[in-house]
Structure 1
Amino acid sequence: MSAAGGGDARGAVLGTIRRSLGVTGREAPRRDAVAARIAAARPGVVPARGQLPEAERLALFCAKAEASAATVERVAGAAEVPAAVARFLRDANLPARLRMGADPRMEALPWADTALDVSTGPSDGSDVNGLSWAFGGVAETGTLALLSGPDNPTTLNFLPDNHVVAVSARDVAGDMESVLARVRERYGAGRMPRTLNFVTGPSRSADIEQTLILGAHGPRRLHIILVEG
Structure 2
Amino acid sequence: MNARDAIFANIRRSLGVTGAEATRRFEVERRIAEAPAGVVPKRGQGDLPARIATFKAEAERSQASVAEVDSLADAPAEVARFLRDSNGPATVRMGADPRLDALPWGETAQEISSGPSDGHDVNAVSMALAGIAETGTLALVSGADNPTTLNFLPDNHIVVVRREDIVADYESAFARLRSVYGKGGAPRTLNLVTGPSRSADIEQTLLLGAHGPRRLHIVVAG
Name stretches of at least 5 consecutive residues in structure 1 with no aligned partner: none
CA deviations on 1:97-151 (whole Å, 9 max, x unpaired) are: 0000100001100011000000111101110000000000100100000000100
Q: 1:36-59 deviations in whole A, cap 9, x for unaligned?
A: 211222111101111112111101
Computing the radius of gyration over CA atoms, which structure comes out larger, 1 or 2?
1
Q: Deviation digits for residues 164-217 of structure 1, max 9, x if unmatched?
A: 000001000010100101111221222110000000000000001100000000
Q: How does 1:111-130 map to 2 (within 5 A)?
A: 111-130=105-124
Q: Counterpart in 2 of 1:206?
A: 200
1:152 counterpart (136, 146, 169): 146
Question: Alpha-carbon deviation of 1:33?
Answer: 1.6
1:15 corresponds to? 13
108-117 vs 49-58, which deviates more? 49-58
User: Quick check: 1:29 aligned with 2:23?
Assistant: yes
Q: 1:45 maps to what in 2?
A: 39
Query: Does structure 1 residue 133 correspond to structure 2 residue 131?
Result: no
Alpha-carbon contact 2:51-2:168 (below 8 Å) kept: yes
Greater mean alpha carbon deviation, residues 166-175 or residues 52-61: 52-61
Q: Counterpart of 1:50 in 2: which secondary structure? A: coil
Question: Which residue number corresponds to residue 89 of structure 1?
Answer: 83
Q: Secondary structure, in 3 states, of the residue corresponding to 1:225?
A: strand
> Per the alignment, in what secondary structure is the counterpart of residue 15 of structure 2?
helix
1:42 alignment partner, SS class: coil
Q: 2:174 aligns to what SS in structure 1?
A: helix
Distance across 2 between alignment mates of 1:8 and 1:97: 54
Which one of the candidate residues 141, 153, 167 is aligned to 1:173? 167
Does the C-alpha gap of structure 1 residues 102 and 28 become closer, same or farther in structure 2, counting only changes over 3 Å? same
How far apart, CA to CA, are the structure 1 residues paired with 2:208 and 2:114?
26
Q: List structure 1 segments (4+ residues) > 2 angstroms apart after TM superposition.
A: 6-14
Paired with 1:78 and 1:167, the residues of 2 have a C-alpha distance of: 9
Cα separation, partners in 2 of 1:227 and 1:9, compared to 1, 3 Å: closer
| 1:220 aligns with one of 214, 219, 222 | 214
- CA drift of 1:84 comes to 0.3
Q: In structure 2, how many angstroms separate the alpha carbons of the residues matched to 1:206 and 1:94?
A: 26
Identity of aligned residues (%): 60
Deviation at 1:13, TM superposition (A): 4.7
Q: TM-score, normalised by structure 2?
A: 0.95
TM-score (norm 1): 0.92
SS at match of 1:81: helix
User: CA-to-partner distance for each residue in 1:33-86, whole Å, 9 max, x for gaps?
Assistant: 201211222111101111112111101100100000000000000110000000
Instruction: Work out the number of aligned pairs and report it.
Output: 221
2: distance between equivalents of 1:55 and 1:192? 29
Between 1:182-191 and 1:99-108, the stretch displaced more is 182-191
What amino acid sits opposite 2:167 in the alignment?
A: A
* CA displacement, residues 3-41 of structure 1 (integer Å, 9 cap, x when unaligned): 95x9747633531321xxxx4320223212201211222
